[in-house]
Amino acid sequence: MAKNIAPVYYGDYLKLDTLLSAQQPHSTRYGAEAHDEMLFIIVHQVYELWFKQVLHELRAIQREFHQPKLDDKGLYLVAHRLRRVLTIQDLMNDQVAVIETMTPQEFLEFRDYLIPASGFQSIQFKELEIMLGLHRDKRVAFDQSSFFNRLNDQDRSYLEQLEQQPSLFDLVDKWLARMPFMNIESFSFWRLYQSAVDKALDEDEALIRGNNSDAAQLATELAGIQSNRDNFHALFDADAYQQLQQDGRVRLSQQAMLAALFITQYREEPAFNLAWQVITGLTEMDEKLTIWRYKHAMMVQRMLGTKIGTGGSSGHDYLRRTTEQNRVFKDFFSMATYLLPKTALPQLPEQVQRLLGFYHRD
């Protein structure tokens, strides 16, 4: 690393003059300063700084996924950067408590001076959603065109061109779908897995039939087993899987879902460990973002009750709906439907184990 040629001064390096003069309450324009407006501004600014850092990490992660081949070093970097994002998300979630020290009455002292500004206009937050893979047609109804209508032309066209780029979801799907190891010479993991699934479900069925004397109870439990069989059938059958996608019940491609499942089931194999950390990291990121949405929605209900938002949405009701609908990596959660207990997993042939492990020659 080259040595710095000029001495650096703390405040200059951090541009503190600019940063610390950027808190300008609007209440002073109309009368006395509303004491809590400073907190409101600073909390939003701190969030925007963290959004900036999260986007910085996610762009670096996307660059790794864009490489023609994502090797272990690249995958390590992805997992490492994801861990940082998760740590920042924990901080962002805890930080909701700071704004909650403001009471609804204190907020009302300056709320009307903000109209029609709104969190809808947080371009970094919308960029985050789009970059992760939230599609316009999947957004909560109010949002589909309305939030775009509330942006200036420059911001709108910036986000619209982002919508044309491959999202993290698309890149992860492609990466998983091209995973090797699922078919090696005569070995087909899916044939093996399918017979393990059939065996496990047959055993469950035999147990239920043996333990139930009540006909109605037996019928209910057998229907449960049949529903499990149908779920697994869809996983192994291209047409049935496509139907699930069309119904909006899964989003990952079939190949990607199968690969994610293979990695998750055999995560302790050295060749899968980093990939599993990435899948888990993305799952946690989705969960933590959902928690943020939920905490923000609860805080908004406390502040506004059923009042509409300054951006014109139904406020709490709109935000509550986004917690379920605006999720991107939900498939990694529903993957649990297809997991088998360790004891029921098929033993991998030695030839495959050798490929997945790190072997030293004597």
Residues found near ligand HEM in the complex (CB under 6 A): 43-44, 47, 99, 107, 118-120, 122, 125, 296, 300, 303-304, 309-313, 315, 318-319, 322
Look up residue 8 and give its DSSP letter: -
Return the C-alpha torsion angle 324, 326, 332, 333, nearest 10.
-10
CB 138 within 8 A of CB 330: no
Q: List Cα–Cα distances, 66 to 81, 259, 287, 320, in angstroms.
A: 16, 19, 25, 34
Task: Match 């903000």 to its residue by tokens.
Answer: 114
Q: Minimal distance in Å, beta carbon 32 to ligand HEM?
A: 20
> DSSP H helical segments within the chain, as ranges?
10-13, 16-20, 37-66, 72-94, 96-99, 104-108, 123-132, 143-149, 153-163, 168-177, 189-211, 215-236, 238-246, 254-265, 270-304, 316-325, 331-334, 350-356
Angle between helices 270-304 and 168-177 (to 10 degrees): 160
Residue 213 contacts by C-beta under 8 Å, 6 or more apart in sequence? none
- Of 251 and 321, nearer to ligand HEM (C-beta) is 321
Q: Minimal distance in Å, beta carbon 39 to ligand HEM?
A: 9
- Of 128 and 340, nearer to ligand HEM (C-beta) is 128
Strand partners, 188: 183
Q: Minimal distance in Å, beta carbon 122 to ligand HEM?
A: 4
Q: What's at 309, amino acid-wise?
A: G
- Of 95 and 228, nearer to ligand HEM (C-beta) is 95
Q: Minimal distance in Å, beta carbon 26 to ligand HEM?
A: 14
CB 97 within 8 A of CB 170: no
Q: Work out whether the CA dihedral 69, 74, 79, 85 comes out positive or negative.
A: negative
- Of 277 and 313, nearer to ligand HEM (C-beta) is 313
Q: Minimal distance in Å, beta carbon 136 to ligand HEM?
A: 12
- Of 254 and 310, nearer to ligand HEM (C-beta) is 310
Q: Minimal distance in Å, beta carbon 75 to ligand HEM?
A: 30
Q: Minimal distance in Å, beta carbon 280 to ligand HEM?
A: 25
Q: List Cα–Cα distances, 319 to 40, 72, 301, in angstroms.
A: 19, 39, 10
- Of 44 and 233, nearer to ligand HEM (C-beta) is 44
Structure tokens of 269? 């194999």
- Of 109 and 221, nearer to ligand HEM (C-beta) is 109
- Of 76 and 294, nearer to ligand HEM (C-beta) is 294
Q: Minimal distance in Å, beta carbon 185 to ligand HEM?
A: 49
